[in-house]
Amino acid sequence: MSISQRLDKLPATPLLRKVIFIAGLGLMFDAMDQGMVTGVIASIGLDWDLTTGQRGFLASSGVLGMLFGALVSGLAADRWGRRTIVLVTLLVFSLGSFLCGLAPGYEWLLVFRFLTGLGLGGELPVVTTMVSEFSSLKNRGRNVVIVESFWAWGWILAALVAYLAIPLYGWRAAFFIGAVPALFAAGLRFFIPESPRYLEQRGKIAEADGIVRRMERSVWIKPPADITHQGAQGNHLQDFIGSPEHEAQAPAKVSLLKAVASLWSREYLRSTVVLWVLWFGVNLGYYGFVIWTPSFLVEQGFDLVRSFEYTLYMCFAQIPGYLTAAILIEVIGRKRVLTIFLVGTAGAAWFFGHATSLPLVILSGCLLYFFALGTWGCIYSYTPELYPTKIRTSGAGAASAFGRVGAFIAPMIVPVVYAFVGPEYGFELVFVLLTVVFIVVALVVGFLGIETKGKEIPEFEQ
């Protein structure tokens, strides 16, 4: 029985829970920084008297870093391991956030936000892939959504910082507050081992077996007396633990160019097209509203502190959104949950854009955050299931990187549309356009997506 087959039969183990918790903490602090940017943009725009275009480019500079970070880290993690890249990206993220707090001017802040985005974008697809690879067949989707739910707590912390700290201590304090816990989370990553599935694919069976045996013994499962490894071509290789003969049988590393080319091969073309449309559309729609929510509320007549307060209410709606997605994803499948939540996000976006009173603004905003963040949990769960181990983070990273193109242009397109139409109809039109984006993505996933629930990754057919 291979390492992967043994992992697929395991119940939840203490090591798996540890991986989920530590990975989740990192995402929480990532989200805290990302969420604070919405408050920072509103605050710094007043402090530095920035134009709408400058504020939009400030938001996009971090997203541009996320684009490059996702692409590079995905390729690197397939070559040098998940654990190493997760550690490096979180450290880069922490450094970038700290430097943002020291930025002497607008141009330097753009550079430091790019650096922060480089770390953040690099970590997200790799850490969720790592959790998926540690999980069993029947719970891998749910576990990734649970990890992603930590993102909601990060946004809640960010909203609290924006509401309580920024009005008193200024926007620089927000960046310092985000940098320190992220550094702490990076230290905790040293306690997470490398993904056994990655080690198996690299031919390091002895190391992978040691990790899986520890997981098996922790839940009173007797490990096998000997180890048989299913090779890439279907050959069974007897593992002589620690022997140089066995280590010599490790497959050659996939070159970066070959990994990228594989994503567009006939075997994975359908998966890649669906994922790239999914990531691009959701990033475009999500960053189209989330970056600008406090600023939009200010434009609608609410003061800055009140806009932070109402955004905080909306952020709490993310938690049931994640939990609902986590329950449904292993019951009705990835495709259906994604489609339902995308349609729900579209409806909530239309509702939010047409809200005419404060109660309706808050209610529709809560629904928007509920469905949008449930969608994100499903995306991160679904993405790594569509590729084999040898190109998994390359595929996830490439999809994430292409998606960040949507996230990059969204903060700049939204204010242009708003300004072109004017404040009377601009708010409404922005959310009509976002509604259309989410509907189109829902149709693509519903008609072209591949269901992966309960299927071993090499076995499902496209």
Amino acid residing at 29: F
pLDDT of residue 271: 93
pLDDT of residue 221: 86
Domains of the chain (ranges, CATH numbers): 3-196+256-448 (1.20.1250.20)
Are 407 and 175 in contact, with CB atoms under 8 Å apart? no
Higher pLDDT: 28 or 426? It is 28
Distances (CA, A) of 294 to 15, 125, 262, 437: 40, 27, 42, 22
Reduced to 3 states, what is the DSSP secondary structure of residue 204?
coil
**pTM of structure:** 0.77
pLDDT digits (tens, 9 = 90+) for 289-310: 776 666 666 666 666 556 667 7
Sorted by sequence, the CB contacts under 8 Å of residue 264 that are 6+ apart come out as 272
The token pair at 400 is 């994430």
The token pair at 239 is 């593992």
Higher pLDDT: 389 or 162? It is 389
pLDDT digits (tens, 9 = 90+) for 228-257: 444 433 333 333 333 333 443 445 555 556
| pLDDT tier for residue 227 given thresholds of 50, 70 and 90 | low
Q: What is the mean pLDDT of residues 322-331?
A: 92
pLDDT of residue 229: 43
Whether 387 shows a pLDDT value over 50: the answer reads yes
Task: Name the DSSP class of 253.
Answer: P
Sorted by sequence, the CB contacts under 8 Å of residue 387 that are 6+ apart come out as 263, 268, 271, 394, 395, 396, 457
Q: What is the mean pLDDT of residues 175-179?
A: 79
pLDDT digits (tens, 9 = 90+) for 104-156: 888 999 999 999 889 888 888 898 899 999 998 888 889 999 998 898 888 88
Nearest to 116 by CA among 131, 141, 97, 136: 97
pLDDT of residue 459: 47
pLDDT of residue 174: 78
Q: Which of 2-16, 81-95, 152-166, 311-325 has the lowest mean pLDDT?
A: 152-166
Amino acid residing at 22: I
Quote the crossing angle between the two packed helices 14-47 and 140-164, to the nearest 10°: 30
